[in-house]
Amino acid sequence: MYEFLEIERPLPHVLLVRFNRPEVLNAVNTKMGGEILDVFSRINNGIDKETQCVVITGAGEKSFCVGGDLKERNGMTEEQWQSQRYVIKNYNMAIERCPVPVICAVNGYALGGGSEMILRSDFAYAADDASFGFPEIKRGFMPGSGGTQRFSRVAGAPLALEYILTGDRFSAEQALAWGMINKVLPKTEVLSATLEVAERIAGNPEQAVRIAKQVIKSGLQTDIERGLVLEMLGHQRLTSAADRMEGIAAFVEKRDANWKKD
């Protein structure tokens, strides 16, 4: 039970997290940040054993998320600001460390921390009228939740410098061309398409999905030789898994696999 998040389980093993502050374009205040931290901490710490894929979206028709709530921040003391940053840093890290796939269904504005949320996720689908950007520079600061580093790695340094230093917005088609999102869809189809791919992921063996995600993410942080070692170790770990043997048997016997669920 959360005040600023709506939580649903629309499909087996799929958790839908909806930011629920549409009156302020789903800006994240301190309480909402703590709720996001709680959701992902429950997954990361094994309390939530049901979830095998997370979908994040925004309530309302206009916005996915526009980042931090600047009205709440107005007039904060340094101590209050640091306290809020602690919450923000920890929910960012909790999402980053989430062992199951995290997918964003971008239904509108994705600005500041909203764009950083997408970059932090595993991949995203977006509405054709979605709008992206990093407007922090226009308010006297800069992205502080991974935007400078992740956007430059996805889109390249020249584009990151242009859009972070100007604070200009960019379109869903631009985000697609630059590799920030995977697919552009009509607004009415974004969530259903995202849930459909989440269902297909959650229908695969849990251990294989988790290890494959970990190997890809960790491998991107090192050189190809070390990345191949990580792949070999992940592959070896799955070799003796019951799901691998079940998957091969199901293929040979032309039936659906009966995956083991922890």
- Return the active site residues: 116, 136
Q: Are 25 and 66 in contact (CB under 8 A)?
A: yes
**Which among 175, 123, 116, 188 is positioned nearest to 147, based on CA atoms?**
116
How far is 167 from 182, CA to CA, in rounded Å?
A: 23
| Residue 9: partners with Cβ closer than 8 Å, 6 or more residues away | 15, 16, 50
The whole-angstrom separation of Cα 51 and Cα 63 is 25
Residue 130 and residue 108 in contact, taking contact as beta carbons nearer than 8 Å = yes
In sign, the C-alpha dihedral spanning 18, 22, 25, 29 is negative
Whole-angstrom distance, CA of residue 13 vs CA of residue 11? 6
Task: Please give the helix or strand (H or E) that residue 124 lies within, else none.
Answer: strand 123-127
Distance CA(106)–CA(122), nearest Å, equals 13
